Each structure stands twice: as C-alpha cells, then as structure tokens.
Amino acid sequence: MSNLISLNEIHSAKIPYRTLVFRFVIKLVAITTSLCVYLLALQPSVCAQIPHCDPGKVLGVNSCSQCHNAELLVWKQTPHAQTFEALHRNPRAKEISKNLGQRSIKRGNRCIKCHYTTQQLNDDRERVIAGVSCESCHGAASDWIHLHNDYGGPTATRQAESPTHRQHRLEESLAAGMRNSRNLYLIAQSCLQCHSVPDEELVNTGTHVAGSDNFELVAWSQGTLRHNFLQSQGTVNATRPLPRIRVMYVVGQIADLEFNTRATALATEKAIFGTTVANRAATTAARLFEIEQRLHHPLLESILQTFSKAELKTNNPIQLIEIADTIQELGIEFSEKADGKTMGAIDSMLPNSQQYR
C-alpha cells in the first residue's frame, strides 16, 4: 500500500483536516547504515542551504540607530536582544551545552548561529556582538546599507520618489542581500531558520526544544516585536493593514512547510527530533490545504501537489530537500504575486490581536 497521498485524493475524499494529518503517513523508519553514511556525506551542503547572516558583512545595530532609533528601542525590549545577556547564565543552557560536551556557549558555532549576531574582525576572528539583531532578520548590511535608503541622490526625498525608482531601489537592495518588504518570504525564512531548530543532535542529545511550538508569523511578529515606524517618520508604531496581515499569514505557513520539510530531511532517527518536525510539516500542510480551499490560488495548489509526494521518513534527505527547494521557489513567487485585498476568505483563520506575542 502506498503511503503517499495525492492532491486529487485529498480533493475528492473531502475528509476532515484532522484525518488528513494522519493520512500524510509519517513513516520514520530505523536507520540503515548505508543511507546514514550517505547522509553524513551530504550534511554540510544540507546545512548550507539557507545562508545565515554573513559575519563578514555584519555592521551591528549601532549602524542602524542613527536613522532607526525607534526600531532599536523596541528591539531592546525583546527576548531577541535580551538573550545576549541571559543565555550563558541560564542553567538549562549550561545543561544543553554539557550534554553536547561543549565547554562554552559563546564560543564554537553551535549556539551562536541562532542566539547571537557575530561580526568578523579585520584579523579574521569572529566576535559575538549582540543577541538576535536587525541583520539576523534583514540580512547582513554592508552591501545594501547605502542602497536601501537612496531616494535618487542627496537632494531627493521620499515624497518625490517615483514608484519605479522605489521598486528598483528595493530590488537592488534585495539583490545585495537585504530582506525587506519587497519579499516577505525572505523575512519569514529568517525566522524559521532559527525557530524550526534544524539540528537533530542538539535536540536528541542536547535536549534542546525541537523548534518553537505553534510558530506563526503574524502572531509572533506583530506583538512585542512590531516596529513599524516608517510611515510616521519614527513617531507611531503602526499596526499592519489587514491585506498585509493576510499575505503574511499565508507566507508564514509556506515557509513553515519548507523548513519543517528541510528539518525532516535531516532526521536519521525517530525520537524526538524526527517525529516532531515531520508532524509539524504534516500539520502545516493540512492548514495550507484549508487555505487553498478558501483561496483557490494556483501557487498554493502547486505547493500542496509538491508536498504530497513527500515521504516523511528518516534518511530521506535527497527527496525532501528537493521538495523543500521547490516549496521555497513557489513561496517566493507567492509572496511577490499575492494580493491581500482579495484574500478575505481566510480572515477567520487569522490570529486575533490578543494572541499576538
């Protein structure tokens, strides 16, 4: 019997979504040695899939504060900033570190890539300069900092900028590594590269949590993290308009599916990492299926079609990475093309503002 479920089956069967979750068969089988060796050989490239903020291009929060002081003040109140002072004192952190046979939390790459921002010094050494900071989410800035705010020369103003120039400016910044509002999917990927915790040993041996439970882009970005001051030149921390929130919600789900599929690709054994990330991928797929039924968007259909081929089992890196890569491409396209104004059919699925973190 096949353990796959095709999209046609899903459509025709009209089964409740809970059942659907179970029907994405999660078959985390035991390791076979040959595959394991293969996976190990593959690991470095697997881990390099989504570039973490490049320390050689990191400028640090002080290079943003001159123009984005309001954003900086909000950021300072978040766990992202505070983890810098807190993590190495946290007894759980010491325990995790010890389980992995590590001597220091702030040295070595393991904890740093998700809990801190590092900067490369002239002599090639890297130093930890902050917790999770501006560039962790928006991209290391040295190549784009001078592009992203250039309205067209020293005398040009925001008010006088043409829509074409603005579009061009945002695209150029994007090409230089910035993750900005031109493509929300890239920002969602920033979140999930950390919040999906794609590191089996860290979870199974270290006893680190296997990613954040119920991570959802709208609820997790529009509460204490929210820093939308541009419209008001730094005076009002604005809420996002509903059409933007709708797109953000769907983009968050797609990125979640991509990253949990990617994480499942790394699973060599069932517990605890493998089952957790595979279950999350299946649950997210069921949610995207519900969204697709409401929006009938062809890109969402393609995403589900792609995922329906996934065999969520251990030691299946090649297939799962290929699927995650395709979901990524489609997610970027969805983020560019989606028109939030026409997406009211999902409003009852959106978190309400009391649920914002």
Instruction: List contacts with ligand HEC (CB under 6 A).
Output: 59, 61, 63-64, 66-68, 71-72, 75, 79-80, 83, 86-87, 90, 92-93, 96-97, 100, 102, 105, 110-111, 113-115, 132-138, 141, 145, 148-149, 158, 170, 180-181, 184, 187, 190-191, 194-195, 197, 199, 202, 206, 208-209, 212, 217, 220-221, 225, 227-231, 240, 244, 357
C-beta of 192: minimal distance to ligand HEC in Å? 8
Crossing angle of helices 275-295 and 298-308, rounded to 10°: 150
Q: Residue 138 or residue 297: which is nearer to ligand HEC going by CB?
A: 138
Q: Residue 25 or residue 225: which is nearer to ligand HEC going by CB?
A: 225
C-beta of 254: minimal distance to ligand HEC in Å? 14
As a whole number of angstroms, the distance between CA 76 and CA 82 comes to 7
Q: Residue 138 or residue 287: which is nearer to ligand HEC going by CB?
A: 138
Own/partner contacts of 286-294, CB < 8 Å, gap of 24 or more, are 286/17, 286/18, 286/20, 286/21, 286/24, 287/17, 287/253, 287/349, 288/250, 288/253, 288/254, 288/257, 289/10, 289/17, 289/20, 290/17, 290/349, 291/250, 291/253, 291/346, 291/349, 294/345, 294/346, 294/349
Q: Residue 208 or residue 287: which is nearer to ligand HEC going by CB?
A: 208
C-beta of 264: minimal distance to ligand HEC in Å? 15
C-beta of 37: minimal distance to ligand HEC in Å? 24
C-beta of 121: minimal distance to ligand HEC in Å? 18
Q: Residue 49 or residue 293: which is nearer to ligand HEC going by CB?
A: 49
